[in-house]
Every structure is written in C-alpha cells, then in structure tokens.
Structure 1
Amino acid sequence: MATSSASAVVVEELWTVDDVSAFLRVPTATLYQWRHHRVGPPAFKVGRHLRYDPAALRAWLASREV
C-alpha cells in the first residue's frame, strides 16, 4: 500500500499599507513616496490595492542594515 504525505503549504497573509506602516512605524504617505521613487519594500497591486509579502518585507529590511 503506497502512502503519500501531503505537505502543507503555509501561506502568510499579505499585509496592507496600514499593516506595513504600523510595522515600520512610518506614515503611509512615506510608503507611497518610497514606492513612487522605487526605494521601498516590494509590493504587489491586487486590484486597486497594494499588498506586501511579510517575508519579502523582512528581507528588504534586513538588506538595509547599516
């Protein structure tokens, strides 16, 4: 009898601009400016809304360490 182990994929919920603003403790306007100047964390457009992958956000933040 063959058994297959189904691996569970854990997907972290995408964050909103307000979530990222609270996490980084910067105003939402700053996030929009960073996106406009292409210097901020990577974001995705979902319909009309911006969404952020928490893992990508943490990686971006770690890459900015001084």
Structure 2
Amino acid sequence: MTTNTAAPAAHTLLTPQEVADMLRIPVRSLYVQRSTGRPTPPGAIVGRHLRYRLTDVEAWIAEQFARSAA
C-alpha cells in the first residue's frame, strides 16, 4: 500500500529561508522587515519556529503587485 505524503498546497508550510528565496531577498531582510513592522507575508510561530503558508505568501505577493499597479 502506498501513502500520499505530499501536503496539499494550502497546508504547505515554508521556512523563512524559503520565503526569502521566493522573494529573492536575504533572509535577514525578511526578519528585519517583520520586526520593524514593514510589510511582509503573514507568518506564524509554530513551536519555536516561524513558518509561512505557501498560499498566504503567494496571495501577499499578488497583493504587492496589485498595489504597485494602482
């Protein structure tokens, strides 16, 4: 019996490094922007680790482009 262990995109959690790679910025910049209240994708602390939902990051990126086009 095979089991599908792939998580659906809605449940895919990303590390700060993965989000920084998507945004093509240093991970340090992501942390600094988050800690100073500048716009960043919504994230949550899971245990002791910061994680981002893939769908939230993608929606946040689309929102940034929509704002700059307006």
Task: Tell me how many residue pairs correspond in the alignment.
Answer: 58
Once the two structures are superposed, residues 35-55 of structure 1 have per-residue CA deviations (whole angstroms, 9 ceiling, x without a partner) of 112321100101111000010
Structure with higher strand content: 2
Which residue matches 2:35? Answer: 36
Q: TM-score, normalised by structure 1?
A: 0.76
Gaps of 5+ in 2: 1-7
Runs of 4+ in 1 over 3 A off after TM superposition: none
Which residue matches 1:64? Answer: 64
Between structure 1 and structure 2, the one with the greater Rg is: 1
Superposition RMSD in Å: 1.7
Gaps of 5+ in 1: 1-9
**SS of structure 1 residue aligned to 2:50:** strand
Structure with higher helix content: 2
1:23 Cα deviation from its structure 2 partner: 1.0
Once the two structures are superposed, residues 15-61 of structure 1 have per-residue CA deviations (whole angstroms, 9 ceiling, x without a partner) of 00111111111001111012112321100101111000010001111
